[in-house]
Amino acid sequence: MPTLAEVLFPQSLPNPAALEAQYPPRSLPEGARVTRFAPSPTGFLHLGSLYTAYVNFLTAHSTGGVFFLRIEDTDKKREVAGGVASLLESLAAFGIVPDEGGVAGGAYAPYTQSARREIYQAFAKDLVERGLAYPCFCTEDELTALRDAQETADVPQKGYWGQWARCRDLSAQDAIARVQAGDAWVLRLRADGDAEKRIVFTDEVRGKIEMPENILDTVLLKRDGVPTYHFAHAVDDHLMRTTHVIRSEEWLASVPLHLALMRVCGFRAPKYAHISALMKSEDGAKRKLSKRKDPEAAVSWFSAQGYPADAVLEYLMTLISSAFEDWRRVHPTEPRSAFPFTLKKMSASGALFDAVKLADVSKGVIALVSGADLAQQVRHWAGAHDTALAALLDKHPDRLAQILAIDRDGAKKPRKDIARYGEVLGYVSYFFDELFVPALPLPEGISPADASEILGAYDYDADEDKDAWFARIRALALSLGYAASPKEYKDNPAQWRGHVGAVSSVIRAAITGRSNTPDLWAICRVLGATTVLSRLQKALVSLNT
């Protein structure tokens, strides 16, 4: 006579001991952590998922461990064609490349749950053999009736457990008969928890946590033999030898179940760290960053806006660790990987996503990129997101690199004025004749007649170095009655019409159409004498007509 386990699993399956041998404990140095990112292939990468993936990545790589990717595709309804490829691509854009899984493969393969069916079934069969799991034949209607009965009886713990679990005490013989009669079944854990007792465990982020033991006979395998998240988690994270399960807080409540599953399967439990959801402040209240309501919940939004991946990670790091910004001030140019990251210092409360802060952080990151590199990044971005900009840059090769080098390459304090690639065109448009919009924003106290006088007397000489160039502007200022420095003006304002700043502002406005730009001398070098002289001339004409 076949046993219940044999009737439930007639196919030939590996045996759990062989699986243990096939996927042995990893030989890694003491303290090395094995972590994973385990998304469903929905094709959508939420900022919170990137955040979680990054924490996993940092945890493994700061300890000389392994970070792997596991595709959790047990829910075929959520799967999107090309979802895995696009996920890998999005992660790679952030430098989050798994050591195993994805295209890397690895010794603990397969890393995709749908390819691990036999592995789950092997452990499930073993649980049935040991009386720790049983088939449940309850139909949807029966389960609804059970919930209604529990409502009526006002049972504090709803669900399939104890005396409510009708199939729990079916004899093996009856169960076999029903399977053989073709009745559909799910496999349930025979929970041994006691609702009166509590389990205590230490969450790596949240510290010591106490929760009631699990008493629910949770489903391990669904009708189609596919595991639930809970069972797959236990089997996979054990066999893949994950040391730290770092995941979103929505799974915190399942820890008692997961620890029970690990125990009945004979697995050593990993350490757990539950990360809070990213929040957004709206009308003074905090709520979760929502895929439905917030465009910035999608990682793709940041790429489309032109935030460098590096800036997004730098920003996420400020959310991951409150010590990061102080560290950054002391180590402005060190790679982030040098920051002494630890899970224990992560905040347990939900970090607030702040777009203004992101832009600020991004400006700091972009300020440190060389003109040539930044130009290349902008061109790359434009290729995918702004074809007009791409065409303009291709028409003037090298020009953007020259522009962006101003006040950046070699500068002690590079300007922090660009937050996104998407802002660059507006920032540099006046360098391109086809986009230059003549305008003459005049500084306070300067009339059109004053400006005309200044421009009429100004001579640009392209051969002058910066000192000579500025000396000429200062001399011009003095000759027209403007102080040669702000200080001299302040010491005796009545004596002057203004100071040299006003004079150079007029020249700047004529050449660039703006009141605020990087270093004007360097701008003129990039524009070239012909353009500079022609713009000065046109501005003068416009003032005089």
Residues that bind ligand GLU in the complex, under the rule CB under 6 A: 38-40, 72, 233, 247
CB of 226 to ligand GLU, least distance (A): 13
Q: Tell me how far apart the alpha carbons of residues 493 and 487 are, in angstroms, rounded to a whole number.
A: 10
- Cα 218 to its chain centre, rounded Å, is 33
3-class state of residue 100 by DSSP: strand
Q: Tell me how far apart the alpha carbons of residues 164 and 426 are, in angstroms, rounded to a whole number.
A: 67
Nearest to 353 by CA among 306, 312, 303, 409: 312
Question: Exposure of 99 by Cβ count < 10 A (0-12 exposed, 13-18 middle, 19+ buried)?
Answer: middle
Structure tokens at 494: 């009545």
Q: Which is nearer to ligand GLU, 38 or 451 (CB)?
A: 38
CB of 279 to ligand GLU, least distance (A): 18
Q: Tell me how far apart the alpha carbons of residues 474 and 130 are, in angstroms, rounded to a whole number.
A: 92
CB of 211 to ligand GLU, least distance (A): 18
Q: Which is nearer to ligand GLU, 170 or 240 (CB)?
A: 240
Asked if residues 430 and 525 have their Cβ atoms less than 8 Å apart, the reply is no
3-class state of residue 259 by DSSP: helix
CB of 88 to ligand GLU, least distance (A): 15
Residues paired with residue 282 on neighbouring β-strands, in sequence order: 285
What backbone torsions phi and psi does residue 198 show, to the nearest 5 degrees? -120, 145
Residue nearest to ligand GLU (CB): 247
Dihedral angle computed from the Cα positions of residues 144, 229, 209 and 280, in that order, rounded to the nearest 10 degrees: -90
Q: Which is nearer to ligand GLU, 247 or 280 (CB)?
A: 247
Q: Which is nearer to ligand GLU, 38 or 527 (CB)?
A: 38
Unique residue bearing structure tokens 């457990």: 161
CB of 36 to ligand GLU, least distance (A): 7
CB of 258 to ligand GLU, least distance (A): 9
CB of 74 to ligand GLU, least distance (A): 9
CB of 276 to ligand GLU, least distance (A): 14
Q: Which residues contact 502 (CB under 8 A, 6 or more apart)?
A: 443, 445, 446, 477, 482
DSSP for 150-198? Answer: HHHTT-SS-SS-GGG-TTTT--HHHHHHHHHTT---EEEE-----TT-E
What backbone torsions phi and psi does residue 433 show, to the nearest 5 degrees? -55, -35
3-class state of residue 221 by DSSP: strand
Q: Which is nearer to ligand GLU, 39 or 498 (CB)?
A: 39
CB of 233 to ligand GLU, least distance (A): 6
CB of 52 to ligand GLU, least distance (A): 7
Q: Which is nearer to ligand GLU, 42 or 362 (CB)?
A: 42
Q: Which is nearer to ligand GLU, 73 or 423 (CB)?
A: 73
Q: What one-character DSSP code corresponds to residue 420? A: -
Dihedral angle computed from the Cα positions of residues 447, 453, 456 and 458, in that order, rounded to the nearest 10 degrees: -90
Q: Which is nearer to ligand GLU, 233 or 280 (CB)?
A: 233
Structure tokens at 255: 């820890």
Asked if residues 278 and 288 have their Cβ atoms less than 8 Å apart, the reply is yes
Q: Which is nearer to ligand GLU, 48 or 422 (CB)?
A: 48
Q: Which is nearer to ligand GLU, 209 or 304 (CB)?
A: 209
In 23-182 the beta strands, taken as DSSP E runs, fall at 34-37, 66-69, 133-136
CB of 125 to ligand GLU, least distance (A): 24
Q: How far is CA 496 from CA 389, 463, 488, in A?
A: 45, 30, 9
CB of 266 to ligand GLU, least distance (A): 20
Asked if residues 383 and 486 have their Cβ atoms less than 8 Å apart, the reply is no
Q: Which is nearer to ligand GLU, 40 or 121 (CB)?
A: 40
Asked if residues 488 and 504 have their Cβ atoms less than 8 Å apart, the reply is no
Q: Which is nearer to ligand GLU, 38 or 136 (CB)?
A: 38
CB of 272 to ligand GLU, least distance (A): 10
Q: Which is nearer to ligand GLU, 237 or 450 (CB)?
A: 237
**Distance between first and last Cα of the chain:** 108
